[in-house]
């Protein structure tokens, strides 16, 4: 099974959560803060995105230049088939492990 760090897994899930072509570093960071209730820097997001792209779990393309961004283009990310499959593997492994945990009673 392919190993992903916790932050890599979270970022990959967040990219998957967006509609195709809507995930970019700033939107991913904002969604991370919303979902995880803690902050993350844009450079940290970029670092993880580069690692995920190197591992072929995401791909990217440049979007259109916008006047709002001073003519700069956004790099937009999508999860690849192998990225989706690794997330499914992780989910299955965790579900199997939870199913094997004995039922505990806490007062």
* pTM beyond cutoff 0.75: yes
> Residue 21 CB: number of other CB atoms within 10 A?
12
Domain boundaries of the chain, sorted by first residue:
6-95
Highest mean pLDDT among 20-29, 37-46, 91-100: 37-46
Buried b (16+ CB within 10 A) or exposed e, 24-47: bbebbbebbeeeeeeebeeeebee
Average pLDDT along the chain: 90
Q: Which fold has domain 6-95?
A: Arc Repressor Mutant, subunit A (1.10.10)
pLDDT tens digits, residue range 82-102?
A: 999 999 999 999 999 999 988
Binning pLDDT at 50, 70 and 90, where does residue 103 land?
confident
Q: Are strands 58-65 and 73-79 parallel, antiparallel or unpaired?
A: antiparallel
**Whole-angstrom distance, CA of residue 57 vs CA of residue 8:** 10
């Amino acid at each position: 099974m392919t190993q992903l760090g916790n932050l890599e897994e979270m970022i990959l899930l967040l990219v998957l959560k967006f509609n195709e072509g809507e995930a970019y570093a700033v939107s991913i960071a904002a969604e991370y803060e919303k979902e995880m209730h803690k902050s993350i820097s844009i450079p940290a997001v970029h670092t993880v995105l580069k690692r995920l792209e190197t591992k072929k779990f995401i791909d990217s393309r440049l979007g259109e230049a916008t006047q709002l961004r001073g003519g700069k283009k956004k790099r937009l990310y999508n999860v690849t088939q192998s990225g989706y499959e690794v997330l499914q593997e992780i989910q299955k492994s965790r579900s199997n492990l939870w199913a094997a945990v004995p039922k505990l009673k806490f007062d």
